[in-house]
Chains A and B, each alone.
Chain A
């Protein structure tokens, strides 16, 4: 592991310049909880490590004028958990981010890193997709925005162009009567990788579901936005028939693999079960708002 350079710029322009110039040999480091493990195992041998944690825009948490949030891509989970407002507005997103690894990992790991690591089982990703979060990316050709669900391209792959860096996530303002939740199935209580993950965000008006987004993790090569499940919920009172239809839509969307964590049949079945449980939590939170 020789000829590795470490660079910790204070501005995004410096980071983009160095990252683009180094080409495919460079790696962005936020918390480093995936990168250092990959380097240690020999899976990744970067020529340049660009540490983005000294760039203010990438480590800041900001409540926007319209009541939304902008979260820097490198904000650690433990820091986000200490924010006075974010977890009250987006409890499901915060829970999902806080499920990544141990207390120690939470001190470093970020939602931006979780997304760019490209794991279909990343816990924060379904919750952010359900929330309608928008990713801001910046590269040599300037800045653009894309919905979080358009970032993953496959296991370990993203749709970011060469030289582009994920800068921040924007969360939309929250209508009255909204709630979100994230649940994952793991065979133990802590410190494990999702067999299936489910994120739900919805809005209730007089008991009627007026808006919903549903996302599933670990059941396909990328985390999925399941629009058919959301459609099955919108316009209903979340009665049994609607939940059954949404669960069926989730099962239909699954394209999982068989591996040591779960079989295709098990993952598909659990996706429907998790949908119902996650909707119940999101609806309870929506009723309280």
Chain B
């Protein structure tokens, strides 16, 4: 059967790819699109390592068909830094050692970015509930949660 042709926008740039009807967005990102920052942890929507945003909505790219990207806006970890300038969340994760092996990190960052866009003043509890779908087997979560809270506080200070 012929592959599907998909025209979409990834990290602000027009992109086109071919996919099978049953392939996931994560398959397309890591395959034809060569964007391997999104990770496959569980492939069942439990771990969040494949987190992306679709029209600014946080989703698991493993639970979305690649064909659904047609005409939509996709945002991945590759679009987070501005050239050599890290996003404040990326910088804070580095400074506070909020990562160890790194498999969960791109998903944690994308999910945290989506949280701070929606809620610039999250409580610790709100951060922990928001990130409940992002599993990390190294850090024990505490450093990640603190890094998100500190980034939020820094951003508020910078605005004032």
Contacts and interface: CB of A to CB of B under 8 A. Distances in A.
Interface residues of B, number: 33
B133 A4 contact: no
- In this complex, the member of A49, A53, A105 whose beta carbon has the largest number of chain B beta carbons within 10 angstroms is A105
B59 A108 contact: yes
A8 interface: yes
A36 B48 CA distance: 15
Contact of B22 (A4, A31, A51, A105): A4
B48 A6 contact: no
Interface residues of A, number: 30
A103 B133 contact: yes
A49 B45 CA distance: 19
Contact of A107 (B21, B46, B58, B134): B58
A32 B22 CA distance: 12
A107 B22 CA distance: 20
A32 B63 contact: yes
A2 interface: yes
Interface string B61-78: 011110110100000000
Interface in B4-34: 4, 20-22, 24
Contacts of B1: 2-5
A49 B133 contact: no
A190 interface: yes
Given A101-B133, A102-B45, A104-B45, 12 more contacts: A1-B20, A6-B22, A32-B64, A33-B63, A39-B22, A49-B65, A53-B68, A78-B58, A102-B46, A103-B58, A107-B59, A108-B59
Contact of A36 (B4, B24, B134): B24
Given A2-B1, A103-B58, A36 B63 contact: yes
A10 to B, nearest CB: 12
13 contacts: A5-B21, A8-B67, A29-B65, A32-B65, A37-B44, A37-B45, A101-B45, A103-B115, A103-B129, A104-B63, A105-B45, A105-B63, A108-B59
A2 B2 CA distance: 11
Contacts of B51: 104
Nearest to A108: B59
B21 A4 contact: yes
